[in-house]
Amino acid sequence: MKAIGLLGGSFNPAHRAHRRVSLAAIAALGLDEVWWLVSPGNPLKPAAGMAPLAARLGSARAMARRAPIRPTAIEQRLGTRYTVDTLAALVRRFPDRRFIWLMGADNLVQFPQWKQWRRIARTVPIAVIARPGYGGAVHAAKAMGWLSRFVRPRGRSRDWMNWRPPALVLLRFRLDPTSATGLRARDPDWHLSFHSAAPRDIITRRSIL
């Protein structure tokens, strides 16, 4: 049974903080690899300023090189727009893998805005990763009013495959302040470097190769 971390996002563009947090999660949780779910379109983010999926996937491929990180555009093939639907499809399609959802503390603050967020928590364990500026916001987050009873000790994080959801672990790593917003501000045309990339590395036939 392979242990897989799932990191969803726009990756607009992918950057070193995505890579560092994924490698840190692999070490902390004993993961075999992390799948980057490059979203065709985030319902909570404006379409303006969003690079084409091919470019975002291309940047993710480049950032994930030589690491146990697999960028994929499987949500495009599945036709899923919401995390709750994507997770249901992945759990059904890959019974030989165990998944844990990786989210930044900023996403935990927004979690109640996600479609059926409690169902997400009941589907797979969740690892919440500290983000710059969101230290105190985690415990004050509205979602924690319900999730706090399911928090597991950080020191037992490698046991997550034995946890029955809902289960939440709070992880802290050395923070990287890199942000996609900052990168876009410095280079608005970043996506032109990846304009020829095609969103073809979609997880199919129980493989993500």
Instruction: Give me 197's structure tokens.
Output: 């990339």
Structure tokens at 53: 């999926």
Q: Is the pLDDT of residue 23 over 80?
A: yes
What fold characterizes domain 2-194?
Rossmann fold (3.40.50)
Taking residues 9-21, what's their average pLDDT? 92
Domain ranges of the chain: 2-194
What order of strands is seen across the sheet that includes strand 2-9? 69-72, 33-38, 2-9, 97-104, 126-129, 168-171
pLDDT tens, position by position, 65-94:
999 999 999 999 899 989 999 999 999 999
| Residue closest to 31 by CA, chosen among 98, 82, 78, 119 | 98
Cα separation, 22 vs 33, in Å, equals 9
Amino acid identity of 142? K
pLDDT digits (tens, 9 = 90+) for 126-184: 999 876 555 566 767 889 999 999 999 999 999 999 999 999 999 988 777 777 767 76
Token pair for 5: 């971390």
Instruction: Note whether 50 and 11 are within 8 A (CB).
Output: no
With bands split at pLDDT 50, 70 and 90, how would you rate the model's confidence at 10? very high
Task: Identify whether the C-beta of residue 178 lies closer than 8 Å to the C-beta of residue 16.
Answer: yes
Residue 155 CB contacts under 8 Å (≥ 6 apart), including other chains: none
- % pLDDT > 90, the chain: 65
Could you tell me what percent of the chain has a pLDDT over 70?
Answer: 81
Model confidence at 185: pLDDT above 70: no
In this structure, the dihedral spanned by the alpha carbons of residues 83, 135, 144 and 92, taken in order and rounded to 10 degrees, is: 20
* Non-local CB neighbours of 64 within 8 Å, separated by 6+ positions: 14, 19, 36, 70, 71
User: What pLDDT score was predicted for residue 43?
Assistant: 72
